[in-house]
Structure 1
């Protein structure tokens, strides 16, 4: 659900970028259009990850983890440099860390359940070494 909210946030960012183009608040129309397309692709991908997580598919959790790491990279960029905005960096980083931890826990739980289903009779490979 949280990854879905992030996807909706990215979709809202896309709408804001389109509003900036319509309002003439762009330096280069070509770059602005390219940014809208890339942001829209990102929103669709993150929403697809959220749907896959909802269905219990591992690729959605993996994509969600990569998304959180990318958000943390953006937060680091927002916190450093000549145009640093620490408040924005914190607003990006805190939810990303929370979602990252929850996704890692979900991956561990899914792995534990898969091992339990595969080795329910105790004959799983490597069972003797445990």
Structure 2
């Protein structure tokens, strides 16, 4: 089955976020190995968890392309977390505008695309139709 343009755009956003998060985690890994970390085990655990999140975002992107609902719902959860993180970064002084706007815009765009995808593909899901309703 061919995916809609909205689903393709949502998948691209999810995969791009996953790749970006993977790059950030690799940068943190290099910083961790430079010896500037106050706690190496804690830093390593955070890098591993961040890589798991990056892999999840990429997997959600592929799942959205396949049209599975678990990928859309997982992607929506990540977008809500991204928006919350972007909003919370407004409390930092000075405000990291590049981070805040980049994460916030990507989160809102991903959320809107995933909701539109769920609305479009949810109607064709046979699990949502009752046999006695026809």
The alignment yields a C-alpha RMSD, in angstroms, of: 2.0
Partner of 1:15: 26
The partner residue of 1:102 within 97, 103, 113 is 113
Aligned residue for 2:3? none
Give the alignment's TM-score, normalised by structure 1.
0.83
> Structure 1 residue runs of 4+, over 3 Å off?
81-84
Question: Which of 116, 122, 127 is residue 111 of structure 1 equivalent to?
Answer: 122
Structure 2 distance, partners of 1:70, 1:118, is 31
Deviation, 1:77, is: 1.5
The change in CA–CA distance for 1:124 and 1:108 in structure 2 (over 3 A counts) is farther
Q: Which has the higher contact order (CA 8 A, sep 6+)?
A: 2
Q: In terms of Rg, which structure is larger?
A: 1
- SS of residue matched to 1:70: helix
Q: Aligned residue for 2:104?
A: 93
The separation in 2 between residues aligned to 1:99 and 1:124, in whole angstroms, is: 36
1:26 aligns to 2:40 (yes or no): no
Structure 1 residue 85: Cα displacement: 2.1
